[in-house]
Amino acid sequence: MTDHRQRPRRRGQGELEALVLSALREADGPASAGWVQERLGGDLAYTTVITILTRLLAKGAVTRERAGRSFAWTPASDQAGLAARKMRKVLDAENDREAVLASFVTGLAPDDERLLRELLGRPPGEGED
């Protein structure tokens, strides 16, 4: 007799990281791993949440501070900041930065290229929060 129960779908590391970051952004301040686990509905084991938070810390996506015997976690930046950090990491890994940037700009949709040119035309620091 074969067991036909369906196993839960495994989520990828990126998806889990996004879920954890989303939960942290909903917190009123620094949050414990246990709070994050509860916020996600208890689907993930506590150790899995800790592993994800530690990976996010290594990537610079979260910060942590001592809270008793454990840590309180805070997102380091919003989604836009994380995407920008990923883009810089990819750019930093390339030898010919000019070629990469030129290829990136020529591949942009016209509206995105116009927006980028507008942003580059601003004095440094203008429009930043």
pLDDT tens column, 14-41: 789 989 999 999 999 999 999 999 999 8
Q: Which residues contact residue 119 at a Cβ distance below 8 angstroms, ignoring those fewer than 6 apart? A: 127
User: What is the C-alpha separation between 50 and 89, in angstroms, rounded?
Assistant: 24
Is the CB of residue 75 less than 8 Å from the CB of residue 25?
yes
82 or 94: whose pLDDT is higher? 94
Query: For 41-90, how does the pLDDT look when each residue is reduced to its tens digit (9 = 90+)?
Result: 878 899 999 999 999 999 888 999 999 999 999 998 777 777 787 788 88
What pLDDT, on a 0 to 100 scale, did the predictor assign at position 122? 86
What pLDDT, on a 0 to 100 scale, did the predictor assign at position 18? 87
**Rg of the Cα trace of the chain?**
20
What is the DSSP-derived secondary structure letter of residue 60? T
